[in-house]
Amino acid sequence: MKNPSSNASDPVSPTASVVLRDGAKVAIRPICPEDEPLMVQLHSRLSENTVHMRYFNSLSLEQRTAHERLVRICHPDPQRELVLVADREDPVAGQHQIIGVARLLDLPIEGEAEATVLVSDDQQSKGLGTHLVLQLLRVARERKLRRVNAEILRDNLSLRRMLDKLGCPVHFRLGSEPESVKAYIDL
């Protein structure tokens, strides 16, 4: 990102506290290197359908949790990307869990970035995806980006409905895969 920051006192800080529809309190914060084991746990809780909706194909747990891949995710390049996690305390175990992750990656076109979001199955339909998208869009606006792009599967109706409910001016066109569409959110 052009103006990297993870300092909560900075006006473009991506840190937020949110309450989900079920009353759960969740911290949205930048990812950190110590989150790698929590990311492994997140991926171990994902269904095949959720993996397919996010990655457009079936990636094994071993592929998704490979150390080299998670190092890249947990150590984002602050000049090019922002990775946020939704962190909550498990009410039963009392330990922190990552229940969602969102990424904003600068594109070669000046003023544009690509967004991705992943929410664990047990936390879907509780508003977490909406909170993560809103946080990415807030940071994108504060960083003076013009557009955020997202490639989504055509049959990912829940994400398409969420974007519609947010009132984002979304424009769809064919994506890189035949079954996907590109959503362009003009800011």
3-class DSSP string for the chain: CCCCCCCCCCCCCCCEEEECCCCCEEEEEECCHHHHHHHHHHHHCCCHHHHHHHHCCCCCHHHHCCHHHHHHHHCCCCCCEEEEEEEEECCCCCCEEEEEEEEEEECCCCCEEEEEEEECHHHCCCCHHHHHHHHHHHHHHHCCCCEEEEEEECCCHHHHHHHHHCCCCEEEEECCCCCEEEEEEEC
Task: Please state which of the ranges 5-19, 85-99, 117-131 shows the lowest mean pLDDT.
Answer: 5-19
Residue range 96-138, pLDDT digits in tens: 999 999 999 999 889 999 999 999 999 999 999 999 999 999 9
Task: Select the more confidently predicted residue: 62 or 12.
Answer: 62
In CATH, the number for domain 16-186 is 3.40.630.30
Residue range 159-184, pLDDT digits in tens: 888 888 887 656 666 666 668 888 88
